[in-house]
Structure formats: structure tokens, C-alpha cells
Amino acid sequence: MPLEAINPATGKTLKRYEEMNDAEVNAAIEAAHQSFLQWRETSFEHRASHMRKAAALLRERAREYGRLMAAEMGKPIRDGIAEAQKCATGCDYYAEYAERYLAEEPVDSGPRKSFVAFRPLGVVLAVMPWNFPFWQVIRFAAPALMAGNAGVLKHASNVPCSALTLEQLFRDAGFPEHLFRTLMIGSKMVGDVIAHPHVRAVSLTGSTPAGRDVAAKAGAALKKCVLELGGSDAYLVLSDADIEFTAASCAKGRLVNSGQSCIAAKRFIVIESLRSRFERQLVVEMGNAKVGDPMDEDTMVGPMARRDLRDELHEQVQKSVAKGARLLCGGEVPRGPGAFYPATVLSDVQPGQPAYDEEMFGPVAAVIAAKDVDDAVRIANDSEFGLGGGVFTRDLALGQRLATDGIDAGSVFVNATVSSDPKLPFGGVKDSGYGRELSSYGIREFVNIKTIVVAQHGGAPTSAHHSE
């Protein structure tokens, strides 16, 4: 089947590409492997010079790349420009810190010389989603390439133009021609790529079912994998929260990327005494968000990436209402072309409703009432997901305690919306995946953590020589 880029605002096909055949895929992986064998011998300084060039190109081309994202998957152009700029920050970050994070670490093990070395693995496969078509790839590629690895990208089938543009970006930045390759393939070929002997590890960002499938294939091939999967982030709104600030923050967190983000705010768990006031203000904030042409600088909510995704979201809303949820705003499919959906708020959300039990991947906010703080934490953790979460309160000590020891998630922010940052580790628990991206933890996921012991020649054996 061809890979098609379809403008979700108009429904028109932008470009169509034929899938690679098996021979072409194997040739691309072989070329990446040969490139890796040379790249791993280069210095961090050499790698960093190219990574800084990639950062400069991302800034220089930010508007061009923003327009591409708007056309291909409906991202509001100002968000796409910001995404390209964030990618530049990520490239600069690893250009600056990779050598420090992968420096050899001495270990005191007695009279012998011992240290830990970090060495690249080889070709790393990235299976990436459409919602942040540049950032998701860069946050994998920047640390992987700086560590000395090569990369092959299987991007989402609806963003082939972004996939090829990223391959060209690294070439334009002076990286070896085959060090980072885009594989123009569908999901059915991913298993064969994972099993290829030159592919040493896999990074996937996507849905939980996709994560289970890739993890099974990687496990069967004994390949390391990192999984960043779905999320249904819970935001606790405590009784002392500043209503206007909290509602504005929650609406912003819910509508980021038109609501199509794993770490978008999704479930708002509000202490009952505050609920009606919070709901009124949240409806105002959600209603103020301009829905429209993603090429318009003022648009906050563009179309969803595909019409089928919009229809699935609407079905979740309808089923939730049928099971007792109350629609406060939105919830109707607009007439006309495109995969648009309005900013929507559901109240009286309870277990058994899709808005409570499932990830809502679009601009729909679910408000859930809690009796007290302990009940709010219970509800937050009553989910198969554990990617991110938030706490809004004036009591910073309480907020920190709930964030640290209460909410079961990979990232929890107090009085702020969850976001990824190159300086901070990113990932989840439970069905939101495992492993970490970004920071020092991310760059060490795809290296051989290697123990080196150098004993004095002819020395007497020590107890440390005992077998495992």
C-alpha cells in the first residue's frame, strides 16, 4: 500500500509514496550499519559539530517545517514553529552534554583498575507517531547519534513528508549520508526490521497496543527497547487552588497539539466543593480557544490528524454521555470538510464511561469529582496509564508530597502543565511504557554499559574472581 500525506483540514492528498520492498529495506539497514562502523570511531567534538549544525538548520527552517506539519497533520502553525525550535534546543543540549554523560566512570574495586565505559550499540530502530512528527524523532535521534549509534526511522504512515525531511535535515547538517535513514514502510514490516541482525535496539512512541506488539517482537529477538506509550494524565484540583489560573492552565494543557498528545491534561479530578466553579471557568477557557485553519497564526485548535481519529473520539464522547456523563460544551461534529472537533468538556464522569476508562486523544476534557485529597489520589491512580499528572494547590508542601509519593506516573508537575524538557527524564509506568528518554538517562538507554577491569599481570587471584 502507498504511504499518503493527506491534509486533514481539507481532506486532499498532498503526496503519495510507494513502500520500500524487502531488498530496499535491507540495503538501507546495511548502509546504516556500515556508516555506524565508521561513526562510532569519531570524537564527541566531531559529532557535536554536526548536531549544532542541525540545530541551526532547525531554527533557520522553523517556519518552513511548521508549514509542513500544519499541512500534513493539522498542527497549528505557531505550534509547529515552536516544535522545530524545541528540536533545535534538544540538538544543542546533547551536543553540549553527551560527552559528559558518557564519560568513563572509575570504580574502586581494590588493587585492580576498574571503570565503567559507555559504548554505542549500533543501528537503533525508531518507530514514531504522527502527533509531534519532528520532536518525537529528534528526542530519539539526537542522543542516539551523539552516543555513536546509527538510526533508522519508521515514521507514522500519514507523515511521510516529515520523515523524509528529517532524513534530509541530518544530511544537510553534514552527518554521513546513511547514518540516519527513513524506511518508507508500513507497520507490517516492523517485525522484520526488528529481527534484522544489524538492528540492535528499538525505540517506540505510540499506542499501548503498538507497544505490546513491538515489545513482543523485540523480546523474541532479544533486542533492547524503550516504550513511550499512551497516557490519561490526571490533574488534581485541590480546594485551595486559584480557580482562574488553574482553569486557564488546565485548558492549555488539554488543548496542546489540538488535544493530541500523550501528556496532554485529560482527567481533571476536582474536590467536590470547588467543582461547579472550576467547571464554569474551564468552559470559558475552552470556549475561547479558536478552532480553525492550522495555517492561521491565531488558531489554537486545528483539525485532528485524520478523520477516522476524529470519528473515534466523537464515539467515545457519545458513549460517555449515554452512560451518564453531562456535556457542558462542544461534543458536536462540525459541518464541512476536514477532521475538526470542537473543544469539549464532560462532567459527571464515572467509571464505566470511555471518558473515565480510556485515553481521549483529542480536545475533550473529563471532569471527575473527588470527596477529598485521598479520594483524588485514588481516582488519579485508578487508571491503566501512568505517564504524567499535575497538582494545583497553594500548599506547595502538600503538592510536592502528592507529586512525589501520591500520583503513580513518570512525571508530575505542581501548578504547571506537564511538558517534556531535554534536561529532564521522560517516560511512564504501567501501560504507559518503560525506559526513559531525554537527560542523562535517555542517552544511556542505547549504549553498552561496559565493565572494564585491568588486573596487574601475574598478580595473585582475589575473591572477586569467583563465578556468578
φ, ψ for residue 273 (rounded to 5)? Answer: -65, -20
CA distances from 384 to 208, 236, 277, 381, 406 (A): 10, 17, 29, 8, 16
Model confidence pLDDT, tens digit, residues 388-424: 999 999 999 999 999 999 999 999 999 999 999 999 9
**Stated pTM of the model:** 0.96
Check pLDDT > 60 for residue 464: no
Q: Is the pLDDT of residue 144 over 70?
A: yes
Per-residue model confidence as pLDDT tens digits over 181-216: 999 999 999 999 999 999 999 999 999 999 999 999
Q: What integer is the mean pLDDT of 452-460?
A: 78
**What confidence tens digit (pLDDT) does each residue in 56-70 have?**
999 999 999 999 999
The CATH architecture that domain 233-414 belongs to is 3-Layer(aba) Sandwich (3.40)
CA 217/CA 200 separation, integer angstroms: 13
> Given this model, what pLDDT does residue 165 score?
98
Give the contacts of 437 (CB within 8 A, at least 6 positions apart).
139, 140, 143, 203, 226, 228, 420, 425, 426, 427, 445
- pLDDT of 465 > 70? The answer is no
- Write the CA distances from 173 to 54, 55, 155, 360, integer angstroms: 5, 9, 20, 38
Max intra-chain CA distance, the chain: 83
**What pLDDT does 79 receive?**
97
Return d(Cα 239, Cα 183) in angstroms, integer.
51
Residue type, 15: K
Nearest-angstrom CA–CA distance, 58 and 354: 39
- List, as one string, the DSSP characters of 220-237: HTT-EEEEE----EEEEE
Q: How far apart are CA 276 and CA 215, in angstroms?
A: 43
Structural domain boundaries in the chain: 3-229+428-452, 233-414
pLDDT tens string 231-282 = 999 999 999 999 999 999 999 999 999 999 999 999 999 999 999 999 999 9
Rounded Cα distance, 248 and 300, in Å: 14
Task: Determine how many CB atoms are found less than 10 A away from the CB of residue 322.
Answer: 10
Look up residue 140 and give its three cell numbers: 530519539
Q: Per-residue pLDDT averaged across 281-288, rounded?
A: 98
- For 2-28, what is the mean pLDDT? 97
Alpha helices by DSSP H, 129-264? 135-146, 160-172, 190-195, 208-220, 243-255
Question: Active site includes 41?
Answer: no
Provide the residue count of the chain.
468
d(CA 303, CA 310): 9
Q: Is 250 a catalytic residue?
A: no
Catalytic entry in 72, 91, 262, 358: 262
SS3 117: strand
How sure is the predictor about 460, in pLDDT bands with cuts at 50, 70 and 90? Answer: low
Q: What is the mean pLDDT of the chain?
A: 96
Catalytically annotated residue among 72, 83, 167, 228: 228
- Judged on CB neighbours under 10 Å (0-12, 13-18, 19+), 12 is exposed
pLDDT, tens digit (0-9, with 9 covering 90-100), for 318-347: 999 999 999 999 999 999 999 999 999 999
Q: Does the pLDDT of residue 466 top 80, yes or no?
A: no
Beta bridge partners of 40: none
Contact 126, 189 (CB under 8 A): no
The CATH fold assigned to 3-229+428-452 is Aldehyde Dehydrogenase; Chain A, domain 1 (3.40.605)
